[in-house]
Amino acid sequence: MFDQLKMMGAVAGLLKNRDQIKAAGERIQSRLDTLRIEGRSEGGLVKAVLSGKMEVLSIEVSPSLGAGLGSSDAHTRQMASAMIAAAVNEALRKAQAAVAEVIDEEGEKLGLPGLGEQLASVLPR
């Protein structure tokens, strides 16, 4: 409870200095623009790369798995689709953690420790 009161006091202090908040927001956006987070499926047959803004930048499928995507066998296509989803989901989890870390670092500078952790607690897992 004391930590929450302390954070509320820090937020009240920040409201007086909007320039600090704006600068922190700009630094966060800049860092998220440059973040590249990778997720892989089991066996590494699929690699997904996301930005810090949770945008899928690329999906790489191994040639052997790619051949399976064109298969007429439903089980093979389903397995390939599951691997793509697994790689993207892993990258999303890593990206959420990376975003929380960036926000934590900026929150510390503003006197708001644990800000990224608070954010991460409300994101879907």
The CATH number linked to 95 is 3.30.1310.10
Tens of pLDDT along the chain (125 residues)? 556 666 666 666 666 777 887 888 899 899 999 999 999 998 999 999 999 999 999 999 999 888 777 777 888 888 889 999 999 999 999 999 999 899 888 888 877 777 777 766 666 65
Which of 47, 31, 29 lies closest to 39 in space, CA to CA?
A: 47
Residue 119 near residue 104 (C-beta atoms within 8 A): no
Residue 71 CB neighbours (<10 A): 12
Number of domains comprising the chain:
1
pLDDT value, residue 8: 67
User: Domain range spanning residue 76?
Assistant: 2-122
Which of 102, 106, 99, 107 lies closest to 123 in space, CA to CA?
A: 99
| pTM metric for this prediction | 0.76
